[in-house]
Structure 1
Amino acid sequence: MRVEYDPEAMGRSAFYRFLTSVVVPRPIAWVSTTTPDGRTENLAPHSFFSIASTDPPIVQFTSIGRKDSLRNVEDTGEFVVNFSSEPLLHLINATATDFPRTVSEFEAAGVEREPSRCVRPPRVARSHVVLECRSHTTLRMGNSTLVFGRVVHAAADENYIVAGRPSSELLRPLTKLGGDEWGTLGEVLHLNRIPYEEPGPR
């Protein structure tokens, strides 16, 4: 027997909890930005994150409400996605605190930074892969804003590259589940796609 859910009857908060428990696991964009004057550097995890385009390379994260990351991207046009890995769980969670915009999560959570190559926001020094982005466009949708950024530079720790690309198993990606649940990679399954073959003559 199924339990039926009506989003309108449940209300926004209740259905949010249901939806984020179903759309799992979700990769986490650990987004670093800076205020226009460069005085405050922001760092926050966003669990609505994906690739939007490969040519040109564009990634996308969603800000629910008017978060500092969104405001800074709108004001400066730049951000960095820092890879979220399992060993960084407690640091990432610490930067999810709703600090005032004038407080740097780098400072508050004790996250070591390093300069980016092509954009002003700093990179997380301990993140094994970073994507430096310039804002492509933003799209308001309901109570959220989708932020699309063109990747203008990427960097990866050489110790995590196998056969020319970053290895998921070595990177140990961290994911977000429902509520206060987090996920780790677990078993990796390798399965080739099945090519379509035209039927031959009979």
Structure 2
Amino acid sequence: MHYDLDLPRAERSLPHSPLKAIVAPRPIGWISAMDKAGRLNLAPYSFFNAVGDNMVAFSSTGRKDALVFTEEGGEFVCSLATWDLRDGMNDSSAPLPRGESEFAFAGLETAPSLKVRPPRVAASPAALECRWLQTVPLVPLGGGEAENFLVIGQVVSIYVEDRFVTDGMVDTAAMHPIMRGGYFDYFHATPETRFTMRRPKGAGEFTGS
């Protein structure tokens, strides 16, 4: 079968787009940002990833608070969403009035960052402190107003809870990160589901950098 996005929605072969179910599991960028007045926002974004050795990006559909606060304050933090924090992560996606803290609503404590103003989620085992580089409006084919906006930040400091560092390397699976699937689905990474493969010779073997 084919799902044709050029067709009117009522004429498509499935009731819901399969894109999010196919591009999965996706890492969750749990973004905290602070506006000029010092108000906090916290929200999970599944359109998130690393886009360079020291850069990450998240995409917002519409100019939501995380985007606006990031632009105003010039900084954001991405805390790792984990199995133990799944309910808090989900609660922080509630559509609260602008300026009302999702940290308080979700019962999450903050912890100070090292180099940026927005705090991280205290209970999260890892966080990326970022300075805002730019916001790119994603103009669709044929032109028109952008509905999606790509927010790019440069990572300036990384927090990792000490117990998850072994032999100088971060044990990602031990932190039990969760990832987004399609519809209402999530995925849960564990040490038991991890596997290792070496790249072919000359294909960019790990160097420790």
- Asked whether the two chains share a fold, i.e. TM above 0.5, the reply is yes
Equivalent residue runs for 1:1-202 within 5 Å: 3-11=1-9, 17-38=17-38, 40-54=39-53, 57-142=54-139, 143-186=147-190, 187-195=193-201
Q: Deviations over 1:98-157 (max 9, x none)?
A: 111121001111101011111111111011111110001111104211111011111110
Q: Which ranges of structure 2 fall in alignment gaps of 5 or more residues? A: 140-146, 204-209
Counterpart secondary structure, 2:2: coil
Aligned residues: 191
Aligned Cα root-mean-square deviation (Å): 1.8
Deviations 1:161-186 (A, max 9, x none): 12212112211110000111111115
Structure richer in helix, relative to its length: 1
| Distance in structure 1 (CA, Å) of the matches to 2:17 and 2:109 | 33
Identity %: 35
Q: Distance in 2 between matches of 1:35 and 1:136?
A: 16
| Counterpart residue identity of residue 172, structure 1 | H
Q: Which portions of structure 1, spanning 4 or more consecutive aligned residues, are displaced by more than 6 angstroms?
A: none
Distance in 2 separating the partners of 1:125 and 1:118: 16
Confirm or deny: 8 A CA contact 1:17 1:178 kept in the other structure.
no
Provide TM-score, normalisation by structure 2: 0.86
Q: CA offsets, 1:16-58, max 9 Å, x none?
A: 73211110000001000112110x211000001111111xx11
Gaps of 5+ in 1: 198-202
TM-score (norm 1): 0.89
